[in-house]
Amino acid sequence: MNEVDLKELIEQTIQEFVQPSNQLEAKKVEKKEFLEDGEIADITEIDLRKRLLVPNPVSKEAYLDMKANTPARVGVWRSGPRMKTETLLRFWADHAASQDAVQGEVSEEFIEKLGLISVKTKCRDKSEYLTRTDLGREFDEDEIEKIKKECERKPQVQLIVADGLSSTAIERNTEDVLPAIKLGLEAEGIRTGKDIFVRYGRVPSMDVISEVTGAEVCCLLVGERPGLVTGESMSAYLAYKATVGMPEANRTVVSNIYNGGTPTVEAGAHVASIIKQMLDKKASGQNLKL
């Protein structure tokens, strides 16, 4: 089989994926041409929650309603005892996207575009970050000095962005979330310091920055651990007068921030309102009654 025949076979297989599996409702799908660079359509763009994958379901409406209410892979059907090719390829594609989110780096261009002060934890690279969680919580002395030199002392709120376990989440969401938070705080007359980016940062890295800057409230935006549903989800961790070694129960968390969860601008406004309550009540985590 030559290269042309192989491309035609792959294209034919992919086109079968985007057609309804229910043969009674199958419609002829117009054949898509290869892109100029020889690539085929991205199967991850197909919304599985709208796909009727089970042939002849007892209740089509109930089946699709169930799928619409969960991102889980339900009703994927089978070929004998095995997964169907479409299901397996989609699994591999989503797994690859998750790996890219973890292994990728937030670009320097993105950091500069947002005007963030960039610092790095004691981790030398991504590999060490993934294997030494302790180093992702600490900074070398020169990084501490950089924070002292470039950041404001004792701001009401210190905003921090950390790559965490998903660089994809940071680059997809921060441009919307960060301005929404700052706009909400500005409306309440709340002063923020200079925003910081932490490369290879774990959540407790915010505690070090809190102690160094003397901020009343620290808010850390960090990429969540990706899964097979999405690699774009981000969380906001908030703490009142955070200190190194403090109990995790003293943090307040807003999670699942991305287009398929809590929308970015809405999440930013919500985070700003929580920060306002923290400053008013001088508490966070389990000590803050929202």
Domain count of the fold of the chain: 2
Largest CA distance in the chain: 71
Confirm whether 136 is domain-assigned. Answer: yes
122 and 65 in a common domain: no
Confirm whether 158 is domain-assigned. Answer: yes
Residues forming a β-bridge with 157: 192, 217
Percentage of the chain beyond pLDDT 90 is 61
Q: Residue 14 — pLDDT band, cuts 50, 70, 90?
A: low
Q: Final residue of a domain: which of 58, 77, 96?
A: 77
Q: Residue 35 — pLDDT band, cuts 50, 70, 90?
A: low
128 and 272 in a common domain: yes
- Check residue 121 and report its DSSP letter: -
**Residue 168 in contact with residue 101, Cβ under 8 Å?**
yes
CA distance 237 to 23: 48
* Structure confidence at residue 11 (pLDDT): 63
**Residue 210 in contact with residue 241, Cβ under 8 Å?**
yes
Which pTM value belongs to this model?
0.79
Confirm whether 101 is domain-assigned. Answer: no
Confirm whether 87 is domain-assigned. Answer: no
133 and 218 in a common domain: yes
* Structure confidence at residue 240 (pLDDT): 97
CA distances to 8, 24, 103, 222 from 97, in Å: 25, 34, 10, 18
Residue whose tokens read 């763009």 = 45
pLDDT at 232 over 90: no
- Check residue 192 and report its DSSP letter: B
Confirm whether 88 is domain-assigned. Answer: no
121 and 53 in a common domain: no
Per-residue pLDDT of 122-180, as tens digits, reads 999 999 999 999 999 999 999 999 999 999 999 999 999 999 999 999 999 999 999 99
Q: Final residue of a domain: which of 55, 77, 99?
A: 77
189 and 45 in a common domain: no
- Give the DSSP letter string of 12-47: HHHHHHTS-S-TTS--PPPPPPPPTTS----GGGS-
189 and 273 in a common domain: yes
Return the structure tokens found at 263. Answer: 């929308």
127 and 65 in a common domain: no
Q: Which residue has the higher pLDDT, 33 or 289?
A: 289
40 and 145 in a common domain: no
72 and 120 in a common domain: no
Pairing mode, strands 217-223 and 234-240: antiparallel
Q: Which domain holds residue 120?
A: 108-287
Q: For the chain, first and last CA: distance in Å?
A: 65
118 and 35 in a common domain: no
pLDDT at 260 over 70: yes
140 and 68 in a common domain: no
Confirm whether 149 is domain-assigned. Answer: yes
Amino acid symbol at 151: C
Q: Which range is least confidently modeled, 90-104, 186-200, 216-230?
A: 90-104
Confirm whether 102 is domain-assigned. Answer: no
Return the structure tokens found at 204. Answer: 């407790």
Pairing mode, strands 196-199 and 217-223: unpaired
* Structure confidence at residue 162 (pLDDT): 97
Confirm whether 165 is domain-assigned. Answer: yes
- Please compute the mean of the pLDDT values over residues 44-49 and round it to a whole number: 79
* Structure confidence at residue 109 (pLDDT): 95
Question: Left, alpha or beta for 189 (phi > 0: left; psi -120 to 50: alpha)?
Answer: left
114 and 63 in a common domain: no
Residue 274 sits in a domain of what CATH number?
3.40.50.11240
